[in-house]
Amino acid sequence: MISSPLDEKRSDQVALQDKDLQSIQEVRNLVARAHEAQKAFAKLTQTQVDDVIGSVGEAALAESTRLGALAVEETGYGIVSDKHLKNYFVAKHVTDYIRPLRTMGIISEDPVRKITEIAVPMGVVAAIIPSTNPTSTAIFKCLISLKAGNAVVLSPHPAPTRCIGESARVCYEAALKAGAPEGIIGWMTIPTLEATQELMKHKNVAVILATGGAGLVKAAYSSGKPAYGVGPGNVPAYVDRSADISKAVKDVLTGKTFDNGTLCSSEQSIVVDAPVESRVAEELIRMRGYFLNQEETRKLEAVAIQQNGSLNPQVVGKSPAWIADKAGIKIPEGTRVLIVRLTGVGRGNPLSCEKLSPILSYYVVQDWREGCERCKQILAYGGMGHTLAIHSKDSAVIRQFGLEKPAFRICVNTPATHGSIGFSTSLPPSMTLGCGTYGNNITTDNITPMHLIQVKRMAWETTEVFPSWWTEPERKETRTPEMVPTKPIATSVPELIEAYLASWKARQPSKNHARTSETQPSHSKPDAQAPRGNPSREDKPGAVDFVCEQDVRKAAQLRHKIYVHSKTIITPAAQELGTSHKIFITI
């Protein structure tokens, strides 16, 4: 039976639908295995987990060259030697950094503050892997997830599925060899958008590590799960008049050309102080940078930038020769970077965006203040919160850049690419860099295993709630008639107070004030400072008409009683204090 074209079309549609269903089912199976494996893995000791980390790091290091070559072969992005260096950085530097960290069981005990901290793994980590740095990011996320006592399931970008899967396999086999349970690392072999969404929303996924485009990061934060997403980087590098020009230019080109600019923290623009502009341009040319003229710039824009203003993904990670050939531009052999002179930032200057390729925009400013503002504009055009580089010997200028720039990694006199990830600086080594609220991220940190643990705290008492000098007041549900004076019906309280004060003044010469129950010696003189209502000045007790809080405190201090009658006015504060100390006697 011969099938019709319509039948073939329907068959293709069914196959596509089946692929979606297969990928979703694959994710469910991977998460189920990872969930069970993590329960067992969480019971390992710190030493056992560290053995797993050491084994994974060694295996990844041994395969770093092969995996880097596989990544370039599959994606067409970057340079094999630089991919190898990225893998080496993760397998060696990251492993060396995280291995001594305490992430299992009791991680700290403070005898002074009397607080003990206990690490609790999050569970299953959903790790989204990009196409620009596929193998290094896959190894990195496996390492930090395992170090924190978690399982991990990788969702690869469709383009580098094979090299990401191979990286995960290398890590997984090494982990099993060191005693990790089966299923502790999983990876999708049928990546689809639907499967990635299923992974991020799965009930047994605890946290998401998302590296990718803005849409993917937004989806991660919208999944309803805790997520670490990282934003794009449109990194400016400012070269101050005080800089070591030769080193500054070398650093900028080192960062920009590394792996053909595929790291999001690579330099996208160079902002040059006018007094040293000619020297910087000379150094750029000497180091095989090529300045495009206006016509060549327009041709480059047509190839590198799409109509909606976004970067053409076809130029990502490509060589200058490849890009120039596509744009119809002749460049000298051995050119390392294409340089375009710009005077503005934004849609009117398309090449002022993040380019992820060896294309560098070039600006000239009159001083560091104008340079500061230009860098802000560049960051605002797609790089908020990420990274900035400054090359200067003036500590005051460096400090101002640190204080004013909306970037959370300020790399000083070093390539932004390598400084931001902790390769050429002492920042925590990481392939996932947070951009804070400026970039709609939850953190500004370089992500480490410490971001993938939860901390339980045991706290011992350091301050008594009721110290020895405290006397707990007696509490009664109801007050007896003797303790609650009857409120006059016909006269208001202010009127009674006014009447009492008038009568008190009139009685000053007499001795009709309240007395205490204790007998005073016949030779004692009247106490002019005795509080109203304190009957210490009479031999016979007499009730007072008005009592305030000060009267009660004085009586309590002297251990006296205050005599009251049914119409005595007692302020609320005096009533409460007097009742608790049993000061009042009703007569």
Calpha distance 131→164 (Å, rounded) = 9
To the query of whether residue 264 is one of the catalytic residues in this protein, the response is yes
Instruction: Look at 173-177, 235-239, 427-431, 462-466 and tell me which has the smallest mean pLDDT.
Output: 462-466
Instruction: Look at 156-170, 272-286, 466-480 and tell me which has the smallest mean pLDDT.
Output: 466-480
State the catalytic residue, choosing from 142, 163, 171, 264.
264
For residue range 135-157, list pLDDT tens digits in order: 999 999 999 999 999 999 999 99
Query: CB–CB of 294/329 below 8 Å?
Result: no
**Phi, psi dihedrals of residue 405, rounded to the nearest 5°:** -80, 135
Query: CB–CB of 351/337 below 8 Å?
Result: no
For residue range 338-363, list pLDDT tens digits in order: 999 999 999 999 999 999 999 999 99
For residue range 507-525, list pLDDT tens digits in order: 555 444 444 444 444 444 4
For residue range 109-139, list pLDDT tens digits in order: 999 999 999 999 999 999 999 999 999 999 9
Calpha distance 416→238 (Å, rounded) = 11
For residue range 215-242, list pLDDT tens digits in order: 778 888 888 899 998 878 999 999 999 9
Write down the pLDDT at residue 508.
56
Write down the pLDDT at residue 212.
77
pLDDT at 568 over 70: yes
Query: CB–CB of 187/68 below 8 Å?
Result: no
Packing angle, helices 549-558 and 572-580, rounded to 10:
20
**Phi, psi dihedrals of residue 290, rounded to the nearest 5°:** -120, 120
pLDDT at 48 over 70: yes
pLDDT at 255 over 80: yes
SS3 assignment for 510-562: CCCCCECCCCCCCCCCCCCCCCCCCCECCCCCCCEEEECHHHHHHHHHHCCCE
For residue range 59-89, list pLDDT tens digits in order: 999 999 999 999 999 999 999 999 999 999 9
State the pLDDT confidence band at 536, using cuts at 50, 70 and 90: very low
Write down the pLDDT at residue 16.
53
Write down the pLDDT at residue 501.
65
Calpha distance 586→113 (Å, rounded) = 51
Mean pLDDT (whole number) for 553-582 = 85
**Phi, psi dihedrals of residue 244, rounded to the nearest 5°:** -75, 100
Single-letter amino acid, residue 349: N
pLDDT at 489 over 70: no
Calpha distance 305→312 (Å, rounded) = 5
Calpha distance 362→291 (Å, rounded) = 9
State the pLDDT confidence band at 539, using cuts at 50, 70 and 90: very low
User: Domains in the chain, ordered, with CATH?
Assistant: 28-230+451-458 (3.40.605.10), 235-424 (3.40.309.10), 493-586 (no CATH)
State the pLDDT confidence band at 3, using cuts at 50, 70 and 90: very low
For residue range 156-214, list pLDDT tens digits in order: 999 999 999 999 999 999 999 999 999 999 999 999 999 999 999 999 999 999 987 77
Question: Could you tell me whether strands 562-570 and 584-586 are parallel, antiparallel, or unpaired per DSSP bridges?
Answer: parallel
